[in-house]
Amino acid sequence: MSRDVITVGSTMRIPLLYRGEYSQWRERFMNYLEEQTDGEAMINSIQNGDHPLPVIAQVSLAGTAPNAPPTLKDPKFWTAEEKKNRKIDRLARSLLIQGLPNDIYSLIDSKRF
């Protein structure tokens, strides 16, 4: 039985992680990403975390708390670059998840952050 998962519409396969084979899987997975559109950006997202969500610039008014949490920008007002970054982050996460066997995915999915 094959140890890979076929991605619909792709001629390459996402490598599947097996216990005890992390270093080999990591190398195959990074090679897989390099061949994808926006591969470098996805690798950056995986290695450095998601891009920060877009926020609205805060204007300090007299009497407002300077430590107020930033207000997230409504997605309908995101720039094309912000939308692209968000899409890359989601795709990178999706590809990582597809490479995990069910037992490992279940461990990650059960954690609340």
Q: Where are the domains of the chain?
A: 4-53+72-109
What is the identity of the amino acid at 15?
Answer: P
pLDDT at position 35 is 92
- Counts of helices then strands in the chain (DSSP H, E): 4, 4
pLDDT of residue 109: 81
What is d(CA 22, CA 103) in angstroms, rounded to the nearest whole number?
Answer: 15
Quick one: pLDDT band at residue 89, thresholds 50, 70, 90?
Answer: very high
Q: What is the pLDDT of residue 7?
A: 46
Of residues 17 and 58, more confidence is placed in 17
Distance of CA 80 to the CA centre of its chain: 18
Q: Is the pTM of this model over 0.85?
A: no
pLDDT tens track for 19-56: 889 999 999 999 999 999 999 999 999 999 999 988 88
Q: How far apart are CA 43 and CA 36, in angstroms?
A: 10
- Other C-beta atoms lying within 10 Å of the C-beta of residue 92: 22
